Chains A and B, each alone.
Chain A
Amino acid sequence: MSLAGTLGRSAAGRREPAWRAPALWGGIAAFPLVVGLMSLGIGRYPVPIDQVLLALAAGSGFAVDVPGTVERVVLLIRLPRILEGLVIGGGLALAGAALQGVFRNPLVGPQIIGVSSGAAFGGALALLLGLGLAGLMAGAFVFGITALVIVFALSRVDGRSPVLMLVLAGVVTGAFFAALVSLVTFLADPNDTLPAIVYWLMGSFATASWPKVGLVAGVTAVAATVLMAMRFRINILSLGDEDAQALGIAVEPTRWAILVAATALVAGSVAVAGIIGWVGLVVPHIARMLVGPDHRRLLPAAALLGAGYMVLVDNVARTATASEIPLGVLTAIIGAPMFAWLLRRTQAGGWT
């Protein structure tokens, strides 16, 4: 098509109605808030909603009369668990959106590039050695980064990481660390360590506690701040290394800062809740459908949607049956078909 022809057409432009953006953002911001509050009223232990509110008031320091058990259920069981879900869901979606931008590929997720497997190995090793929560965190982080470095080194061709090489390097690295995880389970004592590792690997918020929330929230706050601050840089990196460099950006340090922050988010979540797949892959797609590809809008939208999504899924995990449904299983069962549907729907949008 000639430029003259398109110039005429573009005058019509695709302007969105003025009310749409504020309404959309209002909805996206309210989503985790509403889901979080609603979830406080759901659980295996029956608590009427007014008692939930009273317990929250008691927790905020008001002198209200509320049964001890109710207070414990709301403040010590549900609240930390829901907060953990919000933080981890937001962090994973944020990490996924950032990784997709940096790797210029919307099919990338923490799982596909092997970071999750690396973190899983680090965590399993820490459990095997009985290193405690801090050790779990450190192990997950160090080996998450290690996996990332390996994928990066393997996928580089002439200074670039082509999509195919990236996926292949991710598969290789993921398989390698999966084998190491198997080795760890092989070495673990079947009486106590092994069940702990197996359970942890499946992913769950059932053991949520305030210390864990504090830990993951701290890591997430730092890493998310870095990513949010660098979201315009992610836009530029998504043009490709050469373009980004020609635009005056120091590509390697910028990319590493983003990758390290994303890995910190994944490792933090793996450390406290095990492997929770698909959230970092699916949620950024939903966010992209709603707010477009610009990472300045995509990152906050993905984080907010991821937070609410995670808590919704966890509600099913903790209340559907008396026994907990493993979270990793649920996210995969929901995530895989949803991702397939999104793929078919958005492929026409042109991010091949």
Chain B
Amino acid sequence: MITVEGLSYHLPRDRCAVFRDLSFRVPDGAVFAILGPNGRGKTTLLKTVLGLLRPSAGRVRIDGATGYVPQGTHLPFPYSVLDIVVMGRARGIAAFRSPGKADYAAARRALDRLGFLGFADRPVTELSGGERQMVLIARAIASEAPILVLDEPTSALDFRNQDRVLGAIARIAREDRLTVLFTTHYPQHALHVADTALAMHGPADARAGPVADILSEAELTDLYGLPIRVARLDHAGRPVRTVAPVFGAAEPAGLPLVAP
């Protein structure tokens, strides 16, 4: 369970808040999506929840450890995939110790569950973006933390890789009864895997609730400032929900991008 109460964050030396007085709750076992336009503070919110950033007000309560999948990591050294994944076990390894057999077993298990065990000895610097994302997810899984936090796990991936990553997250969350918190730019990803969502409409206007309500056509149109349609299609007898922005139909140009 994650409880966020009255959370605010100001950039250092900045009077304007990135977000203000934010409250929401992520129940155990929930898959929780955070949406919002660029610059609204999705990643900042995530880092504040994780404790990587210090909020200017409010508090966060997390029951249990978190496994974090950052939005792409710069890796200066060509570590092997297994070396990276085993680092997910760091929390349980004392400062003067190195990972032992059990840690490696957990790392291999995590890779195996993602179908990535064959990559174990590959240098991460030689992997593609999608592959790296899977490695970082495996690292978070290897930590065996009950809460998984992902920052835009599908950004910069093609459709096929988006599907694989989302599928993996959903499956692991279900199998391990994990609580998942993730940010995304794609409402259809939230609709696909999440049960609850938070939409950050403005610095002090964040709406949380079931995905269907939060990501309705009207809400999304308000969120992104662009007409957005949610369509229901049929694929081989299976209903498919998709989100389609109507490009070119935004508010007339010339208006300031940010309300005064």
Contacts and interface: CB of A to CB of B under 8 A. Distances in A.
Interface string B98-137: 1100000000000000011011111101111011001000
Interface stretch (A9-17, A118-126, A190-198): A9-17
B83 interface: yes
Contact of B78 (A2, A10, A351): A351
A2 B119 CA distance: 14
Contacts of B170: none
A239 interface: yes
B118 A3 contact: no
A307 B32 CA distance: 54
Interface residues of A, number: 44
Interface residues of B, number: 48
Interface string A1-42: 111101100110111000000000000000000000000000
Interface stretch (A67-75, A77-85, A137-145, A244-252): A244-252
A65 interface: no
B75 interface: yes
Most chain B CB neighbours (cut-off 10 Å) among A3, A6, A14, A351: A3
B99 A6 contact: no
Contacts of A257: 95
Contact of B73 (A6, A106, A243): A243
Nearest to B75: A239
A248 B90 contact: yes
A105 B76 contact: yes
Given A232-B93, A242-B52, A246-B68, A350 B126 contact: yes
Q: Which of B76, B93, B125, B127 has most A Cβ within 10 Å?
A: B76
B121 A349 contact: no
Contacts of B66: 246
A249 B52 contact: no
Contacts of A104: 74, 76-77
A149 interface: no
A3 B130 contact: yes
A106 B78 CA distance: 12
Given A2-B158, A2-B161, A231-B98, A248 B122 contact: no
A315 interface: no
Interface string A181-197: 00000000000000000
B144 to A, nearest CB: 12
A6 B131 contact: yes
Interface string B51-67: 11000000000000110
B131 to A, nearest CB: 6
A249 B99 CA distance: 14
Contact of A293 (B74, B77, B121, B130): B77
Contacts of B134: 3
Contacts of A11: 118
Contacts of A155: none
Contact of A254 (B52, B74, B95, B131): B95
B18 to A, nearest CB: 14
Contacts of A1: 128, 131
A57 to B, nearest CB: 39
B160 interface: yes
A233 interface: yes
B49 to A, nearest CB: 11
A254 B95 CA distance: 8
Nearest to A16: B121
A53 B33 CA distance: 74
B43 to A, nearest CB: 11
Contact of A247 (B90, B97, B122): B90
Given A3-B128, A4-B160, A104-B76, 12 more contacts: A1-B131, A2-B161, A6-B131, A7-B115, A10-B122, A105-B76, A106-B77, A238-B77, A242-B70, A244-B90, A294-B80, A349-B125
Interface of A: 1-4, 6-7, 10-11, 13-15, 101, 104-106, 229-233, 235-236, 238-240, 242-249, 254, 257, 288, 292-294, 296, 349-352
7 contacts: A13-B120, A242-B70, A247-B68, A249-B91, A294-B83, A351-B76, A352-B76
